[in-house]
Amino acid sequence: MTKRIPIMAANWKMHKILREAESYAAEFPLDQDIYRQVEVVICPAFTSLQVVGKALRGTGLKLGAQNMHPAEQGAFTGEVSPAMLKDLGCSYVILGHSERRHLFGESDRFINQKVAAALRYKLIPILCVGETLAERKAGQTEEVCAAQLSGSLAGLSGQELTGIVIAYEPVWAIGTGVNATAGDAETTIRFIRSFLTGQFGEEAGEAVRIQYGGSVKPDNVQEYLKQKDIDGALVGGAGLSVDSFFSIIQGALVKLGGKDNAV
């Protein structure tokens, strides 16, 4: 069985002005052994990428962006390119988040262009998929996830898939305080892995890392990470606090040998 390194990412969304971002980075526990066992990504707003990236340099923590345009440059007012993100030291970029899909009308085709561009620039996409509450109630969870994956990953090879992180984020659980149970999340993520295996081959399907996102907190993270197919978490509100996010990171140690390893 492929051993997958746990990955925990904090998505700050549209929070923290520059001095708040600097304070967060200064307070975050650095030079920790845990960062050699669990991959940790912090995704600030565009305005704070440079200062946070500077603070994280050489610590083992990774810098990620929350979005990008697929073009390298051009007349795209208000957009940020993959070249710009790479220049700032980003290793990761979140793509296809439900807020981009539903609030800003981003299509699977456009997200697919972003994924391909990110890979060209050696940025690791964290590709988000997930269903709305209405779709869940209609029994369409698997159908929706399969369609989003098919469209967003079109034209990619199995080898390219292994360089992508998938984040399953049920829309109804994002920022609502209502989270999918660990069992529900595992069921959907198991389906996602099976779907990807069917599309890209068993080796790629087993190797790709799949996170859960949606009201993850220090007191529930271990229940998610105990599940076989859940490899990490994409954390929203609980990632805005240093203490909270570091506790969530420590909870990921449960993936590395059982409950006794969790701090």
Q: Which CATH superfamily is domain 7-261 in?
A: Aldolase class I (3.20.20.70)
* pLDDT attached to residue 263: 34
- Report percent pLDDT > 90 for the chain: 89
Between 53 and 1, residue with greater pLDDT:
53
d(CA 237, CA 215): 8
pLDDT grade for 112, boundaries at 50, 70 and 90: very high
pLDDT grade for 3, boundaries at 50, 70 and 90: confident
pLDDT grade for 199, boundaries at 50, 70 and 90: very high
Between 261 and 238, residue with greater pLDDT:
238
| Residue 260 pLDDT > 80 | no
Cβ atoms of 225 and 186 within 8 Å: the answer is: no
Domain ranges of the chain: 7-261
d(CA 65, CA 85): 7
* pLDDT attached to residue 262: 39
* pLDDT attached to residue 256: 86
Q: Please identify which of the residues 99, 169, 186, 223 carries the catalytic annotation.
A: 169
Q: What is the pLDDT averaged over residues 51-78? A: 97
| Residue 177 pLDDT > 80 | no
- Is residue 15 flagged as an active site residue? no
Angle (nearest 5°) at CA 21 between 101 and 118: 40
Backbone angles phi, psi at 129, to 5 degrees: -140, 155
* pLDDT attached to residue 180: 85
For residue 92 the two structure tokens come to 């990761």
- Is residue 169 flagged as an active site residue? yes
Q: What is the pLDDT averaged over residues 195-202? A: 98
Backbone angles phi, psi at 213, to 5 degrees: -140, 140
Q: Give the mean pLDDT of the chain.
A: 94
Backbone angles phi, psi at 73, to 5 degrees: -165, 170
Q: Please identify which of the residues 97, 106, 186, 223 carries the catalytic annotation.
A: 97
pLDDT tens digits for range 232-245: 999 999 999 999 99
d(CA 240, CA 223): 21
